[in-house]
Amino acid sequence: MKKNWFSLSVIFLAVMLAMGVSSCKKDDDKTALTLSELKTGDIDMNGATAPNNVPAEPTITATFSTDVDAATATATNITLMRDYDQANIPVTITSSGKTITIVPSESLASGALHKLTLGAGIKSTEGEALGTAIERIFTTDGFFAPSGMIAYWDFNGDGIDKVGSYDAAVSIDITYVDSRKVASGKAASFNGTTSIMEIPGADALMNTNDFTLSFWAKAQQAGHGHFIMGLAAFHGFQFELFGGFNGFKMPVQFDFGDGTSGTGGDLSYNGDGKTLDNGGWRGTVVNKEDANLPSQLEDKWFHIVYVYNSNSKERAIFLNGEKVIMQDHDLWFDDDGNPYPETGIVGLKYNGTAPETLPELAFGFVHSRGGTLWDTEPWGGYDFPDANHFKGQLDDVRIFHKPLTEAEILLMYNSEK
């Protein structure tokens, strides 16, 4: 009996040891979860040098050493952050086998630094965790430009809108010349008498609460002012450079929120430094004093950004990356404390009416040729060679339906200058 008991004990012990060895062997055989490859197209995003040519609409593929548990490939564990303002970019994430595919839900800002984080919580199908978060930085291709452009004309030999559908339908006496630097490619050149480019359906550009216009220009002496661009003149928006290069203005048609609209007056800048506190117009809270505007605006490339923020009810113009004038419509009250209509502004509004004006954006003049507005005025009729036709070059016109921040504007200027 003892012999049988001993034999059974030996067999039982051997079985238990075998099971333990087998169990240990299974744990040891689990493959550690590591990142093998990170790419977008042919661009390696996992190398020693961070890439600076990632497209604005990338499809990023992360390949791991073993199959990934799809339930852990989530926005909690995978994030994409824009560096300059620390904004998190929403992404669409899919997982299949060893790969995770990451696609930004919006176009990324061009020329901007971004950080992709693959979090420690990502696991394999065997339950092995990544353990330590992996961070990879990259820069998108091109000059810096914030995301969210509605329209962009780079004038590299044509009037095509590179991000939207606002292509030029008419281009008269436009030539294309070298822009402000080699990397900027070409710019559209206007002769100051007949040159014009017309974009149809541009009233939709004003279907917005918030608005930003950015462009580069170089104006030459023409003996008169320059209508650099206009959408039905003040019935939409226009940008006018004064003949003496001593200032500029940009009226924009606003929706007052009560069925009426108006420009709130021309937002005009001449460098006199007057604000609401020293004799300037009510609501003017910024007005940089500058007696040397002609030296910056005549026959030199300059950068203009106009911003309207419906939340703060502020409109501002930036010259060469610097805010030079800003008005706050919340402060527009008369001397008796009664509010002006501008205090009710809710956004922009196109209110042009044919045949006086047409919903066409004109580069090189204040409105398109088909409109009759100011037709008999020697300064305002397109057919007059000595009218305020733009003489000079225009480049990189961008329109956004959001208010760019001061940081974005300065980054854009420094990138493109």
Q: pLDDT for 318-367, tens place per residue?
A: 999 999 999 999 999 999 999 999 999 999 999 999 999 999 999 999 99
Q: Token pair of 102, please?
A: 């990451």
d(CA 59, CA 203): 34
Q: What is the pLDDT of residue 29?
A: 78
The pTM of this model reads 0.88
d(CA 234, CA 220): 24
Q: What is the pLDDT of residue 30?
A: 87
Domains of the chain (ranges plus CATH)?
35-139 (2.60.40.1220), 149-416 (2.60.120.200)
Residue of 98, 91, 96 lying closest to 36 (CA atoms): 98
Q: Token pair of 245, please?
A: 């290069």
Residue of 29, 33, 27 lying closest to 124 (CA atoms): 33
Q: What is the pLDDT of residue 324?
A: 98
Q: Is the pLDDT of residue 11 over 70?
A: no
Q: How much is the average pLDDT of 139-165?
A: 95
310 Cβ neighbours under 8 A, 6+ residues apart? 209, 210, 345, 346, 347, 403
pLDDT above 90 as % of the chain? 91
If phi over 0 gives left and psi between -120 and 50 gives alpha, with beta otherwise, what is residue 245? left
In tens, the pLDDT along 176-219 reads 999 999 999 999 999 999 999 999 999 999 999 999 999 999 99
Q: Is the pLDDT of residue 26 over 80?
A: no
Whether 250 contacts 317, CB under 8 Å: yes
Q: Is the pLDDT of residue 266 over 60?
A: yes
d(CA 161, CA 105): 22
Q: Can the peptide bond before residue 355 be classed as cis, meaning omega within 30 degrees of 0? A: yes
In tens, the pLDDT along 96-122 reads 999 999 999 999 999 999 999 999 999
Amino acid letter, 307: V
Q: Token pair of 5, please?
A: 């008991």
In tens, the pLDDT along 247-258 reads 999 999 999 999
